[in-house]
Amino acid sequence: MAVTTIERRKERLDRGIKVRTEGIYALSSLEEVSYLVLPRLLLILGILILPLLMPSLYWNRVISIVCIYALLALGFDFLAHFVGLVSLGGAFFIGVGGYAAAILNKYLGLSPVFTIPIATIGGAIICTLLLLPALPLRGVYFAIVTLMYPLTLMRIIEALNIFGGTDGILGVAGFSNKWVEQYLIIFIVIFALFGLRRLVNEDMGIVFRGIKDNDQSVRASGLSVTLYKTIAVFIASGLGSLGGAYLSHIYMWSGISQFALDFSVIPIAATVVGGGSTLVGPVLGCFILVPVSEFLRAFGTLRIVFYSVILLAFIMFRSEGLMVYAQRKYHQFERWVKV
């Protein structure tokens, strides 16, 4: 085979618009403002309009579930790509939040207005306290411990037969209005998404990334690594618990299946598909994966096979994910140049 030299190569140039870097220039022309604002507006409006386009009760339910997964995926992406803690235990956060809300509602008779905030904060505190001893662990070991937590809690609840045992807690109060149920969670997701995006670019976010890249340097700067990791885990587990509490109220039920694998696997798949470290990617990933899984519900556990295969394919062949790819296309010119 004759050796051919490459005659052309692809050149990538950043778009020469100042809005990409500094804020104030964005106001200098309408074109640049729209360059910055349009993608965000498109996302927000898209999510807001979605329930109106599909007003049936079934699809509203699906959108709510998508949003719950989106919260989890946001937490996963935040922990994994900004703090360096890979948590395989999304189900742990969901389960704790879900059980907390169900217990508060069923045994103490509180209405969802109170149970959801209390379950969010309380669930986050419980998860953080339980994960506190595992925080010094790195990479694989943190992942293994977090993978074990939901399994352990599930088996303990099963073995002790507490909180309704394998039947779960039935008769949790639902939402009175389906539009409230729908839009509350949508606003929560949008708020969480943009809140986290803001957070990771603040000073605290820089410390988080410092911990991910080199925790010794953070320690050398006189900052407590454990404190910052605790804050990060608190935020992520709060998002998860909120999702769990919401889930309990939507289904009016809470049980050990809230500790099931789905809640650990789908957010990871969504993050890998959507593109890690973008925060938007995981949300979009959920909007792609979860509805497709609804179509496959008739096939039972084949859904999990489907996710796993997508996950595997993306991690092997397209590990950057859709959003990173899209952002690159949006922010850069590409052209072929002669070598």
Partner 1 sequence: MRYVIGSYASLLSLMDILIYGIINSFSLALMAIGFTLVYGISRLPNFAHGALYVITGFAVWWILNKLHLNYFIAIPLALILMGLIGAAIYRFVLIRVRGMATSEIIATYALGLATLEFLRWRGFKGMTYTLPVFIEGSVDIGGVLVDLQRIIVMAIGIVVITFMWLFTHFNRTGLALRGMAQDEHAAMMLGIDSDWMAIIAMAMGSILAGLSAVVLLPLGNIVVEAGYNVLILSIAVCIVGGLGSWVGAILAAFMIGFLQIITVAYIQSHFQMVVALLAIILTLILRPSGFFGRQKELEERV
Task: Tell me: does residue 299 bind partner 1 (CB under 8 A).
Answer: yes
Which of 68, 86, 199, 284 is the binder for partner 1 (CB under 8 A)? 86
HEC letters along the chain: CCCCCCCEEEEEEECCCHHHCCCHHHHHCHHHHHHHHHHHHHHHHHHHHHHHHCCCHHHHHHHHHHHHHHHHHHHHHHHHHHHCCCCCCHHHHHHHHHHHHHHHHHHHCCCHHHHHHHHHHHHHHHHHHHHHHHCCCCHHHHHHHHHHHHHHHHHHHHHHCCCCCCCCEECCCCCCCHHHHHHHHHHHHHHHHHHHHHHHHCHHHHHHHHHHHCHHHHHHCCCCHHHHHHHHHHHHHHHHHHHHHHHHHHHCEECHHHHCCHHHHHHHHHHHHHCCCCCHHHHHHHHHHHHHHHHHHHHCCHHHHHHHHHHHHHHHHCCCCHHHHHHHHHHEEEEEEEC
Task: Tell me: does residue 166 bind partner 1 (CB under 8 A).
Answer: no
Output the smallest distance, CB 100 to partner 1, in A.
21
Task: Tell me: does residue 268 bind partner 1 (CB under 8 A).
Answer: yes
Which of 302, 330, 332, 334 is the binder for partner 1 (CB under 8 A)? 302
Site for partner 1 in 269-298 (CB under 8 A): 269, 272
Task: Tell me: does residue 16 bind partner 1 (CB under 8 A).
Answer: no
How far apart CA 205 and CA 196 sit, in angstroms, is 9
- Is-contact 68 247, C-beta < 8 A? yes
Q: Segment contacting partner 1 (CB under 8 A): 46-54, 110-118, 240-248, 264-272?
A: 264-272
Which of 37, 305, 330, 335 is the binder for partner 1 (CB under 8 A)? 305
- Judged by CB under 8 A, the number of residues near partner 1 is 41
Task: Tell me: does residue 218 bind partner 1 (CB under 8 A).
Answer: no
Q: Nearer to partner 1 by C-beta: 141 or 179?
A: 141
Task: Tell me: does residue 138 bind partner 1 (CB under 8 A).
Answer: yes
Which of 133, 176, 203, 220 is the binder for partner 1 (CB under 8 A)? 133
Q: Segment contacting partner 1 (CB under 8 A): 8-16, 106-114, 247-255, 299-307?
A: 299-307
Q: Nearer to partner 1 by C-beta: 63 or 310?
A: 310
Residue from 214, 77, 87, 212 nearest 140 by CA: 87
Which of 80, 100, 236, 283 is the binder for partner 1 (CB under 8 A)? 80
Q: Nearer to partner 1 by C-beta: 15 or 155?
A: 155
Q: Nearer to partner 1 by C-beta: 51 or 168?
A: 168
Output the smallest distance, CB 294 to partner 1, in A.
17
How far apart CA 155 and CA 141 sit, in angstroms, is 21
Angle at 292 between CA 286 and CA 295, to 5 degrees: 145
Task: Tell me: does residue 226 bind partner 1 (CB under 8 A).
Answer: no
Cβ count near 281 (within 10 Å): 28
Output the smallest distance, CB 86 to partner 1, in A.
5
Output the smallest distance, CB 126 to partner 1, in A.
15
Binding mask 307-326 for partner 1 (x = CB under 8 A): xxx-xx--xx--x-------
Applying CB under 8 A, the residues found at the interface with partner 1 are 80, 86, 88, 133-134, 136-141, 143-145, 148-149, 151-152, 155-156, 158-159, 261, 265, 268-269, 272, 299-302, 304-305, 307-309, 311-312, 315-316, 319
